[in-house]
Amino acid sequence: MSDVIPKEVITKAFKGEFFHCKYIHDNTCEYDAFVRFFGVIKNSMKFYIPIHLIPVIIFKLKKMRKEPLKVLYGFVKNVTRSCLFLATYMTLLKYGLCFFKNLIGVNRPLNVILAGLWTFPGMFWEADGRRTEMGLYFLSPFIEGIWKWFDKRGMVTPIKNGDVYLFAITMGIIMYCYQMEPTTIKNTYLSLCKKLWGEN
């Protein structure tokens, strides 16, 4: 792979035409995916360790004093799961872009959609509760993307200060659940709500 992608290849890509994978990675697509998997695991540790460590420090200090090995085991398990999730997701996505481009023979938005769809096995690394959280996390940009797609085609009317209204509605739902249905909130978040707003 050249460090600089030829201009004609970039032009082909923007036009949706086929171009060879040698311009975007070395070796075969399968080997590139294999190397990428372990590379992503290594790099993802840099931010997944703090992500999982902070809740332990905030919410599990007392438990850590009583059962340090159990808390440590849970921490290592969660970091490993998250790293494997991201590595699987990124590997399947990157390989999928090559696979569907070569299969269909053109470079189209459909290739990206198909490559994104077949990244779902990565979710099985995460615990059930985390899958729900991640589903909700991805739902927001998905809805935003749909709205922008309709907006670009003039099929919807932008709402002035719509983000403020959406935030207010969201906070209203959260506060209702906190006051009326606290069992629907994950224990970690429920503890944070209690620290912020106190108990009923």
SS3 state at 59:
helix
Structure confidence at residue 37 as a pLDDT band (50, 70, 90): very high
* pLDDT at residue 84 is higher than 90: yes
Orientation of helix 162-180 relative to helix 187-197, angle to 10°: 100
Q: What is the dihedral of CA 163, 169, 171, 177, to 10 degrees?
A: -150
> Are the CB atoms for 78 and 129 separated by under 8 Å?
no
Reply yes or no on whether the pLDDT at 61 is more than 70.
Answer: yes
Note the pLDDT of residue 183: 82
Judged against a pLDDT cut of 60, whether residue 2 lies above it is answered with no
Choose the weakest-confidence range: 83-92, 125-134, 153-162: 125-134
Q: Is the pLDDT of residue 194 over 90?
A: no
Task: Give the residue, 63 or 80, on which the prediction is more confident.
Answer: 80
At 131, the pLDDT band (50, 70, 90 cuts) reads confident
- The alpha-carbon radius of gyration of the chain (Å, integer) is 22
pLDDT of 59 above 60? yes
Residue 152 parent element (H or E)? helix 128-152
pLDDT of residue 3: 61
- What is the distance between the alpha carbons of residues 111 and 120, in angstroms, rounded to a whole number? 16
Range 52-78 average pLDDT: 86
Q: What are phi and psi of 51, to 5 degrees?
A: -60, -40
**pLDDT over 80 at 13, yes or no:** no
Provide the mean pLDDT of the chain.
84
pLDDT of residue 50: 93
Give the residue-averaged pLDDT of 9-24: 78
Note the pTM of the prediction, 2 decimals. Answer: 0.71
